[in-house]
Amino acid sequence: MPAVSYSPDFPSVENIAPQSFEIRPFNGAVGAEIIGLDLSRPLNDQDFARIHRAHLDHHVVVFRDQRITPEQHIAFSRRFGVLQIHVLKQFLLAGHPEILIVSNIIENGQSIGLGDAGKFWHSDLSYKQLPSLGSMLHAQELPSEGGDTLFADMHKAWDGLPGALRKAVEGRSAAHSYTARYSESKFEGNWRPKLTPEQLAQVAEVVHPIVRTHPETGRKALFVSEGFTTRIVGLPEDESKALLAELYAHSVLPRNIYRHQWQPHDLVFWDNRSLIHLAAGCPSHLRRKLYRTTIQGDAPF
């Protein structure tokens, strides 16, 4: 495992006492929960290494009952790398631009956050030259029903890809765009602001391999999604659409999916190099608010 840079907010020193916590894999396709860890306290290098390993092994880890501040959320995220600032700056937390507010709450006639985030299957920031390593989403306010988040394992999707599909995509690349389905409505009562020319310039189309190699584990994974992938480079439009539709359908087979039902103060950390995810939505009159940090990754290869 490569070395990980450490934030000065959580100093790497040997005299930090270890914490007693348990990593419990879920019974389904992917994921694990971490019980007994307090992220409001500094972590020593050994505890951090266990968390890092669990994230690589299980692709999504759920830290239960985390009563952390935005500053602590940001500091823990930075231990994994540089944080990325979302293009929708109107939905960033005041004083903490590293945090995107994901919320359907309306105050004074204005949305306080991105209300329809994750409305289509996607990998965060796949539309950037350096897509996300991972995202951390911290529950602030949860609805009494709905609001689940689904995760699909793209390593398993690749491993189980039929031979004809595998042959059709090996060595090919696909284009990704933030605006691919930006204006399509899916959740009642939510809307998206019109992007300015400056914002559009930040999310120009990029091209990535359809099959990427995880830079830390070496495992291969499909790297396309209905949310951001627009076309397969070098194919006629009809062939591209048909092939992508097959890949999308195969990626989200039930055997590849973990459905997260949120509990108060959950902090969920997933690997965008290994997974795609989807917000299931909730009734628009039920308040939902979460804080998200996004960690920059490497150029896919």
Residues belonging to the active site: 122, 124, 277, 292
Sheet harboring 257-260: ordered strands across? 257-260, 149-153, 275-279
Look up residue 230 and give its amino acid: T
Containing 172, the helix (H) or strand (E) segment is none
Tokens of 178: 């933030």
The string over 244-259, giving b where at least 16 C-beta atoms fall within 10 Å of a residue's C-beta and e elsewhere, is bebbbebbbeeebbbe
Cα–Cα distance for residue pair 212/223, rounded to 1 Å? 6
Residue 92 belongs to what H/E stretch? strand 92-93
Q: In angstroms, rounded to a whole number, what is the distance separating the alpha carbons of residues 19 and 15?
A: 12
Under 8 Å between Cβ of 7 and 78: yes
Residues 297, 81: contact at Cβ < 8 Å? Answer: yes
- Measured CA to CA, the distance from residue 231 to residue 216 in angstroms comes to 27
Closest CA to 173 of 205, 203, 211, 204: 211
**Amino acid identity, position 57:** D
Q: How many residues in total does the chain contain? A: 301
Tokens representing residue 129 in the block: 């030259």
